[in-house]
Amino acid sequence: MAISIKKKLEAEISEAFIKFQRDLIGRGPQEAKTYIVSDMVIARFKGVLTVEEKHLSSHEKGRRIVKEMREILREMYSEESEQIVEKLTGCKVLSSHSDISTKMGERIEVYVLDKDLEKQLGS
Protein backbone atom coordinates (compact mmCIF):
# COMPACT_ATOMS: atom_id res chain seq x y z
CA MET A 1 0.00 0.00 0.00
CA ALA A 2 1.36 3.42 -0.96
CA ILE A 3 2.13 5.90 1.77
CA SER A 4 -0.20 8.91 1.65
CA ILE A 5 1.06 12.40 0.82
CA LYS A 6 -0.08 13.50 4.28
CA LYS A 7 1.85 10.73 6.11
CA LYS A 8 4.95 11.44 3.99
CA LEU A 9 4.79 15.16 4.83
CA GLU A 10 4.24 14.44 8.53
CA ALA A 11 7.36 12.23 8.51
CA GLU A 12 9.40 14.90 6.67
CA ILE A 13 8.40 17.54 9.24
CA SER A 14 9.35 15.19 12.11
CA GLU A 15 12.76 14.53 10.54
CA ALA A 16 13.40 18.24 9.96
CA PHE A 17 12.56 19.02 13.62
CA ILE A 18 14.85 16.25 14.89
CA LYS A 19 17.73 17.59 12.77
CA PHE A 20 17.02 21.18 13.88
CA GLN A 21 17.02 20.20 17.57
CA ARG A 22 20.20 18.14 17.20
CA ASP A 23 21.95 21.10 15.58
CA LEU A 24 20.58 23.46 18.25
CA ILE A 25 21.21 21.61 21.52
CA GLY A 26 23.43 18.73 20.49
CA ARG A 27 20.76 16.07 20.80
CA GLY A 28 17.29 15.53 19.45
CA PRO A 29 14.25 13.83 20.93
CA GLN A 30 14.19 10.04 21.17
CA GLU A 31 10.98 10.06 19.17
CA ALA A 32 9.09 12.64 17.11
CA LYS A 33 5.63 12.32 15.59
CA THR A 34 3.87 15.00 13.58
CA TYR A 35 0.16 15.22 12.86
CA ILE A 36 -1.55 17.45 10.28
CA VAL A 37 -5.04 18.22 11.58
CA SER A 38 -7.15 20.73 9.66
CA ASP A 39 -5.17 24.02 9.71
CA MET A 40 -2.69 22.84 12.35
CA VAL A 41 0.61 21.00 12.45
CA ILE A 42 1.02 19.28 15.81
CA ALA A 43 4.42 17.85 16.72
CA ARG A 44 4.99 15.60 19.74
CA PHE A 45 8.52 14.95 20.91
CA LYS A 46 9.32 12.19 23.41
CA GLY A 47 12.53 11.86 25.39
CA VAL A 48 13.54 15.52 25.13
CA LEU A 49 15.12 16.07 28.54
CA THR A 50 18.88 15.96 29.01
CA VAL A 51 20.34 13.96 31.93
CA GLU A 52 20.82 17.23 33.85
CA GLU A 53 17.22 18.32 33.18
CA LYS A 54 15.94 14.95 34.43
CA HIS A 55 17.88 15.43 37.69
CA LEU A 56 16.55 18.99 38.08
CA SER A 57 12.99 17.80 37.36
CA SER A 58 12.96 15.68 40.51
CA HIS A 59 12.56 18.90 42.55
CA GLU A 60 9.83 21.53 42.14
CA LYS A 61 12.24 24.45 41.80
CA GLY A 62 14.21 22.43 39.23
CA ARG A 63 11.05 21.74 37.20
CA ARG A 64 10.33 25.47 37.08
CA ILE A 65 13.89 26.21 35.95
CA VAL A 66 13.77 23.54 33.21
CA LYS A 67 10.40 24.81 31.94
CA GLU A 68 11.58 28.44 32.01
CA MET A 69 14.86 27.64 30.25
CA ARG A 70 13.07 25.62 27.54
CA GLU A 71 10.52 28.45 27.12
CA ILE A 72 13.33 30.97 26.59
CA LEU A 73 15.06 28.68 24.07
CA ARG A 74 11.75 28.17 22.24
CA GLU A 75 11.18 31.94 22.03
CA MET A 76 14.73 32.47 20.73
CA TYR A 77 14.27 29.90 17.96
CA SER A 78 10.53 30.09 17.22
CA GLU A 79 11.16 31.89 13.93
CA GLU A 80 13.42 29.08 12.70
CA SER A 81 10.98 26.34 13.71
CA GLU A 82 8.10 28.21 12.03
CA GLN A 83 10.23 28.50 8.87
CA ILE A 84 10.68 24.71 8.84
CA VAL A 85 6.89 24.28 8.85
CA GLU A 86 6.36 26.99 6.22
CA LYS A 87 9.04 25.59 3.91
CA LEU A 88 7.73 22.01 4.06
CA THR A 89 3.98 22.76 3.98
CA GLY A 90 3.92 25.78 1.68
CA CYS A 91 1.58 27.45 4.19
CA LYS A 92 2.10 30.57 6.28
CA VAL A 93 2.34 29.99 10.04
CA LEU A 94 -0.03 32.40 11.80
CA SER A 95 1.04 31.41 15.32
CA SER A 96 2.87 28.70 17.19
CA HIS A 97 2.59 27.36 20.71
CA SER A 98 4.74 25.03 22.80
CA ASP A 99 4.73 23.31 26.17
CA ILE A 100 7.02 20.81 27.88
CA SER A 101 6.12 18.16 30.42
CA THR A 102 9.01 17.61 32.82
CA LYS A 103 7.03 14.67 34.25
CA MET A 104 6.80 12.82 30.91
CA GLY A 105 9.90 14.30 29.25
CA GLU A 106 7.75 15.32 26.29
CA ARG A 107 7.24 18.52 24.36
CA ILE A 108 4.29 19.49 22.19
CA GLU A 109 4.45 22.12 19.44
CA VAL A 110 1.38 23.43 17.63
CA TYR A 111 1.57 25.54 14.48
CA VAL A 112 -1.58 27.28 13.25
CA LEU A 113 -1.56 27.68 9.47
CA ASP A 114 -3.25 30.14 7.13
CA LYS A 115 -5.16 27.34 5.37
CA ASP A 116 -6.65 23.91 5.95
CA LEU A 117 -3.65 21.82 4.93
CA GLU A 118 -5.36 18.51 5.72
CA LYS A 119 -8.16 19.33 3.28
CA GLN A 120 -5.64 20.59 0.70
CA LEU A 121 -3.78 17.25 0.89
CA GLY A 122 -7.05 15.44 0.26
CA SER A 123 -7.20 13.48 3.49
- Residue 2 is predicted with a pLDDT of 57
- What is the number of residues in the chain? 123
The CATH classification number of 3-119 equals: 3.30.980
Q: What are the structural domain ranges in the chain?
A: 3-119
CA distance 38 to 74: 24
Q: Letter for the amino acid at 104?
A: M
pLDDT digit string (tens) for 22-32? 888 788 899 99
pLDDT digit string (tens) for 38-61? 999 999 999 999 999 999 999 999
* Torsion angle defined by CA atoms of residues 87, 48, 41 and 88, in that order, rounded to the nearest 10 degrees: 20
- Residue 26 is predicted with a pLDDT of 81
- Residue 1 is predicted with a pLDDT of 46
